[in-house]
Structure 1
């Protein structure tokens, strides 16, 4: 039995039961049923919207000074009114990533007599080991087999359909448009060619967006193929092979893109299906095979995946292999959605699209107040660092786009971006200051440059990408921040703590969102300044800048503990207006930062625990996918394996569709239904990895939050900071052995429980440790 397979005995009733495929650019969700198969196709650059003219000045430093005086004097309403006047842009052609189309395959029902097997038997699956989806149907006379994969190596989606008897493959293939217009016509007798434009009327004006051109080709062995009425009809074939390719004009000026799909398919057909499949699997497994995990098995492991999810959510029955499957599924989705050469990073729904976010006030965009960041939380630790690279390039482009915003809105140098962005260089605040004036959203995203360097120790990356972008971010905050007149601290503001609100005084006087120096900002700015200082020292440059950073760091506010014992979310100990709120942005110092650790900051760790537990106790807790992941990550960092396990169990058993995609519950943040949001998949993957390995406190910590449910297991290939790879094996909750592979020289400290050992490592070294962390020969 393949433990890393999603499988089902029932047809996919809709998108939330479909199985996702991806090649880093093209996405497909395959909805298989006995007599029909639908591929919901998406493409990561297929965006509505456009680059709109920049707004006029937001008033610069003079307007900022006036706002700040209101906040410092306690006039929050007055300050908020000025912020809306100067820092609240009108909504323009922001756009959204749209679904491309559906490929619909209708199979002819077999009318012959049944020969063997149980008629009507159906099974569909997604094999994570090879990134191939398949379905098998026992008809009246023969067994029909189907498989489909999205090839990064071949730059297309390919499928094969065959039968246990010759001449039994018959179907019609048609295309259903995702957007208007969508002209599709037969070509060459065996293909359908289509054109489309990504237009919609909710996030843009209905007239602007990316153009696409694609081709679907069907090859057959035996039988006949006929084209007509916008469809292809296959009759009596022994086997059929389907190829789908599409290109867009995103960032393209010449006509070459229009012929790419045909060229791609001709090249694929020339190789043949089997070679294309082999190249796809080899390319995929170079990434997937880097990590293996075993957490034990139970009798639940042999059930269909949807039944296992329901059982965990309903009964809480232990199913340790389901958690291992969830981690590998998260890695699979990362590989499928974000490859080193992907044109764009993962958005709100990865690279897939069910259409739900696009038709609401939501958007399939880049939310910068946790969602996009969480998409990449597990990337480094689960040994998929190359998948991080599209985000690195996007951050560089965001920095360029954010320079005019820093200048026009704040009269400052450097660059800034706020609560969300798109593919058109949007860096302004959102069009409502209560949630849109997140002045560190771009910086939060840019901390992924720091993470990538910490894991890789890639000096060229530091010198050429990370440091230049972060230095310019630091230049903005050094110019923009001001000294608090009462405390003498260097603070940001006006700004919000995403996306929460507070009572500055009597609750009867109303809630506010904007203040000076929210905790999230001060944590991010401190990490930025300290990393830039370290980088400048390492690269031996910018001595004057180093001195400025040192002085600024000394003036930053400390993390504070409030009257309820909680980690304060704001500079002042305000009362939360929504204690049930879904966001936990001020916990960044616990995860993914390292400003709070149980060993070095026990009091702040205690305050972080109080914050998490207080939020958990709220009857009206906004129970969404990313909050469940944040709870799990927080407790993992506090070394509380049982509570981390509770929250990852809830995420999988209570906030996942049948296809293991995570969702946000209906009614929260304007969601009109349970809506697919992929950050829970990646956040949950990160939780499981952090329970098994942590390396944020200058040491490699083995099994820091191991729950009783995973008392025996093994993991190999996880990455630790410092360009290191780790394997661990344990039994009955006790470490039995570990191996540390080092790719850069230096001192390595390894911890398990209260035991620690340190040794000098060489580049290319491999070090085996015993159950007491003793070095083994």
Structure 2
């Protein structure tokens, strides 16, 4: 084993202890015990629901103007009533992502010993994306290994022993949905099919169809089928292959046979070469970054034990647990989102425990935090190709959102709101208290800006980012209105996700909708300024540039409230829930850089007050993404110790044994601790931001380094401006820094109070010593 292996000496009792695999499309959570192994299978396009037609609003701009007049005059109740009348659609066949099925493998027991006897271990090696387990008893050791190959689009497994003839097991499939059916095609092949249907988020009749194959190949022994199960007896080795295809966005019938050709190619290639190509392909992404957080660590202890020790406050003795969590986040990105993935990461990545599907939640694309956080670490951790499925999704969303912009608001351009699905849903949610976040789609689209700023890819800017963002800007230029009191250009009515406020000091009649929420204004400013920059850079759309320049001059400034906090709304309203889990109005601090300690100290102080006020609430809604947001906020404020505290809490207090993050039972209607993957990615971004930050032409080295990581190294982190950064540090101080630049540009290299200007050329490497002096 190595420092980057999750391992356990006890069986996986349930899904939350299983180990995840993925190839960017197919997901598996492997629950291994000594004599049983269960793979919980998923496929990212396996969704219930369908496209439902939109119906134009009867009100359009006239209704919008009327409701705005009430909000401006302070009559929130009447404004809210009109918003519900005109801007609150009926829930229909929105749908949800669903699990496919379970592959169940039962191994022969030589005697009646319990699983706890003998020697057992299971593991997930992040360096090779291999899950494994072994069981030893009576001097016979049975080994198992599983991986999910992107290059060959298949899940493959090997079961073997050094003792000939000792591999015996049965294999079957368990249903994921009601329509699931399985048949044995021959003695070593199972075929399954099923439709993604459910009755909570759709009418139970519509959804994607899937069809797949499970193939067994053995060396020695026999294999036979009976009652839809395959039985291997007395084999030396066995190999299992799983393939699946769906009819998502398919009008032909070829999808139904694609898994057959995939399987045949895999069989022709053979397990050894499949494994070799998988490790090579995966390593091309994973190996871009290496991290060491000190020389101490407890990798000799099982991962679940290390999590418990961190929860008890002993994490300072195990800095490499944080490095493991960081690389696990990168692993999950590669496993869940590849350049060729048909869809981006959803609420649970590409996996599915079934919990979010059965209640009011949907395993979907939430656009007011969750989907965005899934991709927070992608660029900085050198996985830019994994961003591409999200960009294709945003392009599709922009196409669908044109109809919503026209039907709901009578406006040009495109818009999407609080959540979406795989069917192009862009309407507001079916309750205005949380569903009228008018910048949800824009927030997601700002990832296009991030990718360009990191990559400096002019072709991407001109062909992908600018066309989508230009149409978004067209919507807000048409949609926004001037505030009658001060002439500011504002959005609304809209939510500040998903918070409530009191419009006066009476603490009665809590409201959700207002004009010009801070979150909206931050995002619109980011959009307008980037589009204006693009207009100048691409030398096109001069008239749009003039409109943007005028609009930017009318946008509201960020404001500091009476408590010294950064205001969440245009007015200094009182929060109904000071303990609320969302901190969306700190977007200007992270991921954007409208607020920085060096350039906006007063606003930075106000952001700190906002974070601290939320932290001290006894009833704080303590969920995975809030812990990550705290960490990200304090990292950007260059407060490493407080960022470390929240990252420690995320790993030690909000992770299952398999290091998947979760949302606590009782919060936002959660009926149990529910796996939500955004905490994994948010936490990975926290650690990266503690070691490196880049914005506005500046590269900050170790800006939020805690004492617990006083010695370490990181290689391959990305900086905006198309550069990679390697840092080695001792006693909290960088001893050497390498900056590799792939585009020309001028950077200000920062550490503490040290500043060095670097005029970089493309394709060069620059080495800085401990005094931040350029050596070569």
**TM above 0.5:** yes
For residues 417-432 of structure 1, the aligned pairs below 5 Å read 417-432=416-431
Q: Are 1:14 and 2:14 matched, yes or no?
A: yes
> Could you tell me how far apart the structure 1 residues matched to 2:194 and 2:618 are?
47
Q: Is the 8 A contact 1:55 1:89 kept in 2?
A: no
Distance 1:338 1:112 in 2: 43
CA distance in 1, matches of 2:477, 2:11: 57
CA distance in 1, matches of 2:506, 2:372: 33
Quick check: 1:108–1:170 contact (8 Å CA) kept in 2?
Answer: yes
Match of 1:300 in 2: 298
Note the alpha carbon deviations across 1:435-468, whole angstroms, 9 max, x for none.
0000000000000000000000000000000000
Check whether the contact 2:297–2:319 (CA below 8 A) recurs between aligned residues. no
Mapped to 2, the partners of 1:146 and 1:776 lie a distance apart of 50
Match of 2:154 in 1: 156
Is it true that 1:458 corresponds to 2:457 in the alignment?
A: yes
The within-5 A match list for 1:513-662 is 513-662=512-661
More displaced stretch, 456-465 vs 745-754: 745-754
Q: Secondary structure at the match of 1:99?
A: coil
Task: Work out the number of aligned pairs and report it.
Answer: 774
Report the Cα offset of residue 119 of structure 1.
5.7
1:317 to partner: Cα distance = 3.5
Cα RMSD for the two superposed structures = 1.2
Q: In the superposition, relative to structure 1, how do residues 430 and 423 fare at CA in structure 2: closer, same or farther (>3 Å)?
A: same
Helix, strand or coil at the partner of 2:743: coil
- Partner of residue 274, structure 2: 276
User: 1:183: how far off?
Assistant: 1.4
- Distance (whole Å) between structure 1 residues aligned to residue 671 and residue 162 of structure 2: 45
CA drift of 1:112 comes to: 11
Which deviates more, 502-511 or 619-628?
Answer: 502-511
- In the TM superposition, residue 56 of structure 1 has moved relative to its aligned partner by 2.8
Alignment of 1:377-456 (within 5 A): 377-456=376-455
Work out the CA distance in 2 between the residues paired with 1:381 and 1:507: 46
1:136 is matched with which residue? 134
Q: Distance in 2 between matches of 1:74 and 1:572?
A: 11
| Matched position secondary structure for 1:80 | helix
1:286 is the counterpart of 2:284: yes
| Structure 1 position 776, deviation (Å) | 1.4
Q: Distance in 2 between matches of 1:759 and 1:345?
A: 36
Instruction: After TM superposition, give the deviation of residue 58 of structure 1 in Å.
Output: 4.9
Q: Structure 1, residues 399-432: CA drift from partner, whole Å, max 9, x if none?
A: 0000010011111000000000000010000000
TM-score by length of 1: 0.99
The answer on whether the counterparts of 1:663 and 1:677 sit within 8 Å (CA) in structure 2 is: yes
2:307/2:651 contact within 8 Å kept: yes
Q: Secondary structure at the match of 1:695?
A: strand
Q: Give the aligned partner of residue 44 of structure 1.
A: 44
**Shift of the alpha carbon at 1:53?**
1.1
Corresponding residue number in structure 2 for 1:75: 75
Q: Counterpart in 2 of 1:197?
A: 195
Q: Which moved more, 1:501-510 or 1:266-275?
A: 501-510
Aligned to 1:491: 490
- The CA distance in 2 between the partners of 1:552 and 1:95, in whole Å, is 38
Extract unaligned runs of 5+ from structure 1.
none
Q: 1:262 & 1:299 partners in 2: Cα distance?
A: 46
Alpha-carbon displacement from aligned partner over 1:694-713 (angstroms, at most 9, x marks no partner): 00232111000000000000
Counterpart Cα distance in 2 of 1:96 and 1:677: 14
Report how far residue 739 of structure 1 moved.
Answer: 0.2
In structure 1, the residue matched to 2:473 is 474
1:530-551: CA deviations, max 9, x gaps?
0000001000001111110000
| 2:262 is aligned with 1:264 | yes
C-alpha separation in 2, matches of 1:162 and 1:659: 25
Partner of 2:89: 89
Deviation string for 1:346-373 (max 9, x for gaps)? 0000000000000011011000000000
| Counterparts of 2:294 and 2:47, CA distance in 1 | 43
Offset at residue 773 of structure 1 (A): 1.2
CA contact (8 A) 2:505 2:574 kept: no
Q: CA deviation at 1:111?
A: 4.4
Secondary structure of the residue aligned to 1:34 is coil
SS in 1 for 2:565: coil
Give, in whole Å, the separation in 1 of the partners of 2:54 and 2:565. Answer: 41
TM-score scaled to structure 2, two decimals?
0.99
Which residue of structure 1 lines up, in the alignment, with residue 60 of structure 2?
60
Structure 2: unaligned runs, 5 residues or longer:
none
Query: CA, structure 1 residues 560+508, in 2 after alignment: closer, same or farther (shift >3 Å)?
Result: closer
Runs of 4+ in structure 1 off by over 6 angstroms are none
1:286-334 alpha-carbon deviations (Å, 9 max, x no partner)? 0000000000243533110001001101234421000000000000000
1:208 alignment partner in structure 2: 206
Q: Give deviations 1:570-611, integer Å, cap 9, x for gaps.
A: 000000010000000000000001100000000000000000
Question: Is 2:741 the partner of 1:742?
Answer: yes
Partner in structure 2 of residue 680 of structure 1: 679
Counterparts of 1:691 and 1:317, CA distance in 2: 17
Partner of 2:646, secondary structure, is: helix
Q: 2:533 and 2:567 mapped to 1: Cα distance?
A: 28
Q: Indicate conservation of the 8 Å contact 2:297/2:321, yes or no.
A: no
Give deviations 1:48-83, integer Å, cap 9, x for gaps: 000001123251110001000100000000100000
Q: What is the aligned partner in structure 1 of residue 173 from structure 2?
A: 175
